[in-house]
Amino acid sequence: MDCDEFRCRGKEMIEYICSYLDNIEERRVTPNIEPGYLRKLIPENAPEDPENWDSIMADVESKIMPGVTHWQHPRFHAYFPSGNSFPSILGDMLSDAIGCIGFSWAASPACTELETVVLDWLGKAIGLPDQFLALKEGSRGGGVIQTSASECVLVSMLAARAQALKRLKQQHPFVEEGLLLSKLMAYCSKEAHSCVEKAAMICFVKLRILEPDETSSLRGKTLLLAMEEDETMGLIPFFVSTTLGTTSCCSFDNLPEIGVISHKFPCVWLHVDAAYAGNAFICPELKYLLKGIEHADSFNTNPNKWLLTNFDCSTMWVRDRIRLTSALVVDPLYLQHGYSDATIDYRHWGVPLSRRFRSLKLWFVIRSFGISGLQKYIRLHIRLAKRFEAHVLKDRRFEICNEVKLGLVCFRLRGQDKLNEKLLSNINASGKIHMVPANVNEKYVIRFCVVSHNATEQDIDHAWHVISQFADDLLEMQNADKEQDEVYELLERKKKETLAQKRSFFVRMVSDPKIYNPSIAKALPSTRRHLTQPSAESPENHITIQPPTDNRERNCLKMDVEEFRTRGKEMVDYICKYMKNLPNQRVTPHLEPGYLKELIPSEAPVEPENWNDIMEDVDKKIMPGITHWQHPRFHAYFPSGNSYPSILADMLSNAIGCIGFSWAASPACTELETIVMDWFGKAIGLPHDFITSNKGSTGGGVIQTSASECVLISMLAARNQAIQYLKKNLIDPNEIEDSAFLPKLVGYCSKEAHSCVEKAAKILLVKVRILEPDEKGSLDKQTLEDAICKDKENGLFPFFVSTILGSTSSCSFDNLQVIGPICKAEPCIWLHVDAAYAGNAFICPELKPYLKGIEYADSFNTNPNKWLLVNFDCSCLWVRCRVKLTSALVVDPLYLQHANSNESIDYRHWGIPLSRRFRSLKLWFVIRKYGLVGLQKYIRNHITLAKHFETLVSKDNRFEVLNDVRLGLVCFRLVANDQVNQELLANINASGKLHMIPSMVKNKYIIRFCINAEDAKQEDVEDAWRIITEHASEILEPTNNKKKEFTKPPLTRQMSKRFAFTRSVSKELYKRCRSRSNLLDGATPILVADSDEEDVEVQQGNNCEAVDFLASSLDDNVFLDEYKKDF
């Protein structure tokens, strides 16, 4: 698909989205299908040849849409709102087209700086203390956009754990962290989200779940008693998670009381989860609900819930960013920069390295609506919820079960739980409206949430009419079955008591109706019918209720369908113009850190702004700070997957706006992911067990946010497997805490592995041994065997090996055929294969030999968002045994009893987040539009061009190639010392004509040249080589001819370091740090020894252990102020 076709198809997609959203009321709210419906409609294998676009779109309507739960439907009242608006869709369109990966300021300055500015905007609008705002003078805090609220809670708990362990280590310096973990205790209410429990599982800490009061609020006295009791037992309170606006009933913990109590315990980190309700605090009359926030250490809310911003956009603020990053950073020198305001590297603020340009859509939304417009939208939802509450209160058959403060009403029929289960079952089966249940004060209640951004009073009145009509019919039927119901209720009560014994608390997640409602499967003929299709006995067969179709008020939203139709087509034209003009632009921006805060107001606009003014600012303020990853002369990092079909798919995904955490939440979202992952896995050549659809398979594939998450959850599964194995081999494992096994666990990887392996080990508190590779950059068989043998002799337990196929630094390959048997000879080693870049190439038959030995692997990941033309975020992970994976992540014990069933997959149990975007749609679009043949052609072209560049380098005797060029990466350098090569790269990058990054290969500073652009051509490669050689001549000629002057002024020292991606330290510190094996990631600057010792001050007495142990233990004064500013 070229630019002209995208212009046509993009405008067609705008029309499709307009038609979909304008006519959504004509569709059933929930689909009328059975699990597995989609596999019967879609071929078993990926298409070899490209398919016609019209055929793809026809299949969207005939095969995908029938399985979609329409979260934007005005009669969808389940869960919470799924943020969606036209400005947000437009923001994501532009973000996808730019395709930058903002893991650091250097990777794309505008991406980082806009996030900082917009998070300050929103933080101020919410009413957060100044300490949480990054740009406030004297502040140590700041905000960050995470993937989900689950990740916000996890990284907050990780920061709390690091803080507590650091304090304990000072008291007990010779005790390992794993042993200290058994002392740590976290706290939350029974009403808290289940992500708190999942975070505790990952962090390997105890979690005490406390009973709330009669209003479902956690009180300070309850917390104090629990903490004091635990202290008497020798435990250490370290983390409290409070909730403002709980999932089940939108209750509010008493933050003022809890805050005061938390201050009594020196190690406690107080987190506030306001995923839904936090957005409402932009309304002055609702800020009273935020009282006590001054006590908090961190706070999160989700604009992708209730601020008209598409998923994923979970915003989080911390009071002290260094306390956060110290728990996640694997580069100990990073923390030496302290609280410098020069730049923020958001890769150190969360689990993933790579990050989408998510702040753009939030910026578009805030400016398009203005704070006043967003307040109007929130107030409308609250007013409509109050209207529904009034309907319920007028009917004495019903009761309200929560205090209606925001947009959620919990209600039920007066009577037994079974009666309410039947009522909800029949309503949902009709497809007329959709709601989900919850458990409030041990009662089964029905949640009615105002969700649609275009909700009207007529929608509320219609919903109540549907509910009351179904209640009428149900109550009539109940009289005939009353005696049977009483017997049934006794049986159900016994089942619930049994369930309570299995769990420490009753599940609060509305995403899991089976737990709330274990009887529904028996109440209806089909186990899923209460969610998906009408029952033959349903009262809807003789109830006719027409939904409102006229007089829908849309004036709440600034941009309506007609304006979106115009602006959407303008955005398509803008994207086409941007792509066509890329070759004429600088590859990288030429500006200083902090440029954007000087151009953008410090406060969010109160009133809506004109769209033309917003787009003018895109041109004048955002684009000058963009590193153009799609530029034909951008040769840094690896490709950032980008294509027109992928952009179109993300447009549609955003318009649908479903959150696919479970099959029931949107069947097509789950089923398409399973099918497309099978397609891709077969095309790569993965073993039988990795393909879900294969007979007898125990594994499957899942799309994760990033390769970092793939590695983390694989290591997490391995940790869980190893501990279970060790417990089985002990006489009385019940007397030993699971955390006591952590000091024994050791994983392995090559020095060529990605730094995410080191981050995963830090998060999971396990050892990882970084081994020297052989001369080709491969993990050596004998080195691994010797390391395993030595560790076993020292009482350690090998549990995980991470291999690499296509390393970041030089695209080297580990030999799975020799490593695999070593791993399988051990009782419990999990073998993971990280092929983030190279794995995509295995769709080419001639490259499959690099995959030999994959049959030994337990898990495998590759990133289509790198080298398969799919936009970020799309990291594919396959596992041999899905139960081993989910058992390390699931917080629902009943789920595991059915985990081998192929009826449906709940992907929320396959990763960290609960909520998930409809990411499989873009992978499906790309594979179908290009076909495997087209994708193979694209990959082969990149390899051919890399070989051509290798030839050009080899012909110039001033240069040398330092890697085996197998795919699209060439590592080269001048035949000179490192300093000369640093100067060469700095001058090339500073020119803006070409962009590359360095790495270390064979202990030499090298320059990486990667083929990135989709339509890269030979003339692009030759043009790049011309630029390189011209700069090489400028660098080398003054050396040969002392009298020759530079044609342009040399770069300053600070600029040279920035453009050469180096970090200079004293020679003494450089030697010590070189003794520590640090993994590379392409984003962390290369460490170099400073040649001018008097320019660097190093604190005397700083010992090697301070560098080797915890990043947080390094002193903040190692580097001078100039160095901090340079960072």
Per-residue model confidence as pLDDT tens digits over 268-296: 999 999 999 999 999 999 999 999 999 99
Residues 752 and 829 in one domain: yes
Neighbours of 590 (CB within 10 A): 10
Helices (H), 351-447: 359-394, 417-430
In a domain, 1049, yes or no: yes
Handedness of CA 1001, 1007, 1012, 1018 (dihedral sign): negative
Yes or no: say if 629 and 98 are a contact pair by the CB < 8 Å rule.
yes
Which residues is 961 bridged to in the sheet? 972
Whether 479 shows a pLDDT value over 70: the answer reads no
The answer to whether residue 163 is domain-embedded is no
Tell me how far apart the terminal alpha carbons of the chain are, to the nearest angstrom.
Answer: 41
Question: What CATH number is given to the structural domain containing 381?
Answer: 3.90.1150.10
* Residue-level pLDDT at 737: 83
Q: Does a structural domain hold residue 794?
A: yes
- The better pLDDT of the pair 836, 1106 is held by 836
Q: Are residues 437 and 531 in the same domain?
A: yes
The chain-wide mean pLDDT, for the chain, equals 87
Q: What is the pLDDT of residue 491?
A: 53
> Which residues are paired to 188 by β-bridges?
209, 241
Cα separation, 430 vs 538, in Å, equals 8
What is the pLDDT averaged over residues 130-152?
Answer: 96
Compute the average pLDDT of residues 559-563. Answer: 92
- Are 386 and 515 contained in the same domain? yes
| Same domain flag for 383 and 281 | no
Q: How far is the C-alpha of 853 from the C-alpha of 835, rounded, in Å?
A: 13
**8 Å CB contact between 489 and 418:** yes
- Choose the final residue of a domain: 254, 273, 307: 307
Q: What is the pLDDT of residue 891?
A: 82
Q: Is residue 971 part of a domain?
A: yes
Cβ 996 vs Cβ 989: under 8 Å: yes
303 with 377, same domain: the answer is no
Which tens digit of pLDDT belongs to each residue from 290-328? 999 999 999 999 999 999 999 999 999 999 999 999 999
Q: Report the DSSP pairing between strands 969-974 and 959-961.
A: antiparallel
Number of domains in the chain: 4
| Predicted confidence (pLDDT) at residue 336 exceeds the cutoff of 50 | no
CA–CA distances in Å: residue 103 to residues 346, 359, 1048: 6, 13, 32
**DSSP category for residue 880:** S
315 phi and psi angles, rounded to 5 deg: -95, 140
Which segment of 392-401, 549-558, 884-893 scores lowest on mean pLDDT?
549-558
The secondary element (H helix, E strand) that includes residue 64 is none
Conformation bin of residue 675: beta by default, left when phi > 0, alpha when psi is -120 to 50: alpha
Order of strands, sheet of 269-273, starting from the edge strand that comes earlier in the sequence: 142-146, 314-318, 298-301, 269-273, 236-243, 184-189, 206-210
**Tell me, what amino acid is at 264?**
K
Q: What is the mean pLDDT of residues 143-152?
A: 97
- Judge if 420 and 497 occupy the same domain: yes
Tell which of 274, 307, 340 closes a domain.
Answer: 307
Distance CA 923, CA 601 (A): 38
Phi then psi for residue 675, to 5 deg, are -70, -50
Same domain, yes or no, for 984 and 1109?
yes
CA–CA separation, 725 vs 739, rounded Å? 14
pLDDT at 490 over 60: no
Q: Does position 251 have pLDDT exceeding 90, yes or no?
A: yes
**CA of residue 760 relative to chain centroid, distance:** 15
At 733, which CATH number?
A: 3.40.640.10
Query: Residue 949 carries which DSSP code?
Result: H
Q: Are residues 455 and 532 in the same domain?
A: yes
Q: Does 479 lie in the same domain as 394?
A: yes
Flag whether 1023 is in a domain: yes
pLDDT at 730 over 90: no
Return the higher-pLDDT residue of 500 and 712: 712
Stated pTM of the model: 0.90
> Pseudo-torsion of CA 338, 146, 125, 599, nearest 10°?
60
DSSP 188-228: EETTS-THHHHHHHHHT-EEEEEP--TTS---HHHHHHHHH
Residue 842 contacts by C-beta under 8 Å, 6 or more apart in sequence?
684, 685, 835, 848, 850, 851, 862
Amino acid, res. 349? W
Residue type, 659: I
Q: Which of 403-412, 490-499, 1055-1064, 1072-1081 has the highest mean pLDDT?
A: 403-412
Q: Residue 451 and residue 1068: Cα distance in Å, rounded?
A: 60
Q: Tens digit of pLDDT for each residue in 1014-1024?
A: 999 999 999 99
pLDDT at 1089: 73
Per-residue pLDDT band at 1051 (split at 50, 70, 90): confident
> How are beta strands 875-879 and 767-771 bridged, if at all?
unpaired
Residue 1024 domain boundaries: 947-1126
Query: Running DSSP on this structure, what letter comes out for residue 41?
Result: T
How far are the Cα atoms of 196, 211, 389, 613, 1034 from residue 442, in angstroms, in the given order? Answer: 21, 12, 21, 53, 77
* pLDDT, tens only, 1084-1103: 777 777 665 433 333 333 33
Indicate whether 218 belongs to any domain: yes
Q: Note whether 261 and 394 are same-domain residues.
A: no
Q: Do 978 and 1117 have their domain in common?
A: yes
- Which pair of tokens denotes residue 174? 């010779």
**Is there a domain that residue 514 lies in?**
yes
- Residue 356, pLDDT above cutoff 70: yes
Question: Residue 895 domain-assigned?
Answer: no
Domain boundary among 542, 567, 588: 542
Q: Are residues 294 and 441 in the same domain?
A: no
Q: Is 510 helix (H, G, I), strand (E, B) or coil?
A: coil
